[in-house]
C-alpha cells in the first residue's frame, strides 16, 4: 500500500494562537524539542513520535486527535462486525 495518499495534518498553529500567541520556541521548550522541530511538525514536514505528540497535546490540554489528524481514503478503515 502506498503511503502517498495518507498524511498527518495538525492544528498546532491555531492552538498556539489560542494559547495566548505562544511562540514556537516556547512550545519547543515545554515539549522538550528544538524550535526547528516544532516548525517542521507545524508545516507537516515531520511526523513526531507518539511521545512528542502526546506531550504537545498535554501542553495545550486537549486530546491527541484535536492536535493531529490522520487523513487518507476511507478504505483504510476497519469495518466493525
Partner 1 sequence: MHLSFHEKSLWVTLLTLVGAFRIYFTAAVQWYRQFAGTAPGMAVDVMPPQVVLLGVAIGMIVVATIVGHALIAIADRRTETDERDALIALKGTRNGAYVLATGVFFALYAALATDGNFIFTHVLLASWVLAQLVEIASQLVLQRRGA
One residue of 11, 22, 46, 62 binding partner 1 per CB under 8 A: 46
- Answer yes or no whether residue 45 interacts with partner 1 by CB under 8 A: yes
Task: Find the part of the chain contacting partner 1 (CB under 8 A) among 7-15, 42-50, 61-69, 70-78.
Answer: 42-50
Q: Are 28 and 37 in contact (CB under 8 A)?
A: yes
Binding residue (CB under 8 A) for partner 1 from 16, 27, 37, 53: 37
CA distances from 22 to 3, 30, 32, 70 (A): 32, 11, 15, 24
Tell me if 9 sits within 8 A of 65, measured CB to CB. Answer: no
Interacting residues with partner 1 (CB under 8 A) = 32-37, 40, 43, 45-46, 48-49, 52
Amino acid at each position: 500500500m502506498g503511503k502517498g495518499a495518507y498524511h498527518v495534518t495538525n492544528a498546532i498553529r491555531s492552538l498556539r494562537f489560542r494559547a495566548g500567541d505562544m511562540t514556537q520556541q516556547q512550545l519547543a521548550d515545554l515539549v522538550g524539542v528544538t524550535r526547528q522541530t516544532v516548525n517542521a511538525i507545524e508545516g507537516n514536514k515531520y511526523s513526531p513520535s507518539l511521545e512528542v505528540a502526546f506531550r504537545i497535546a498535554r501542553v495545550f490540554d486537549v486530546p491527541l486527535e484535536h492536535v493531529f489528524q490522520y487523513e487518507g481514503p476511507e478504505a483504510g478503515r476497519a469495518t466493525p462486525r
